């Protein structure tokens, strides 16, 4: 193989590895965005207790599938909002 052919093979190999890495990252993002962080019934229960905004914010802050963290954070947000109004 000539040096120019080796350069082309190296370039294509690097491009394929880069595309595979981007595809893996995109797959992880799509899977996490489509999955449900907490069961629907539990979410409705928490929204009735603490409000939609507090639960939505808590879901964004807490790790995926950590229901105790979501409940704790929603309660903290709700209480801070209630205490601020008084």
CA pair distance 55, 74, nearest whole angstrom: 5
Domain identity same for 81 and 56: yes
Structural domain total, the chain? 2
- Domain residues for the domain of 49 are 38-86
Which residues have a Cβ under 8 Å from the Cβ of 50 and sit 6 or more positions away? 74, 75, 77, 78
Domain identity same for 53 and 26: no
Q: For the chain, 86 residues long, give each residue's pLDDT as a single digit of tens.
A: 777 788 888 899 999 999 999 999 888 887 766 667 788 899 999 999 999 999 999 998 998 788 999 999 999 999 998 888 76
pTM: 0.57
CA pair distance 27, 33, nearest whole angstrom: 10
Domain identity same for 25 and 55: no
Domain identity same for 24 and 53: no
Domain identity same for 54 and 70: yes
């Amino acid at each position: 193989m000539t040096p120019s052919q080796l350069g082309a093979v190296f370039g294509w190999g690097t491009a394929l590895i880069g595309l595979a890495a981007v595809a893996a990252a995109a797959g992880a993002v799509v899977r996490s965005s489509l999955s449900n962080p907490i069961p629907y019934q539990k979410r409705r229960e928490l929204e009735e207790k603490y409000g939609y905004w507090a639960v939505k914010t808590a879901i964004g802050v807490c790790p995926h599938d950590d229901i105790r963290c979501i409940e704790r954070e929603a309660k903290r947000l709700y209480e801070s909002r209630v205490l601020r109004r008084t």
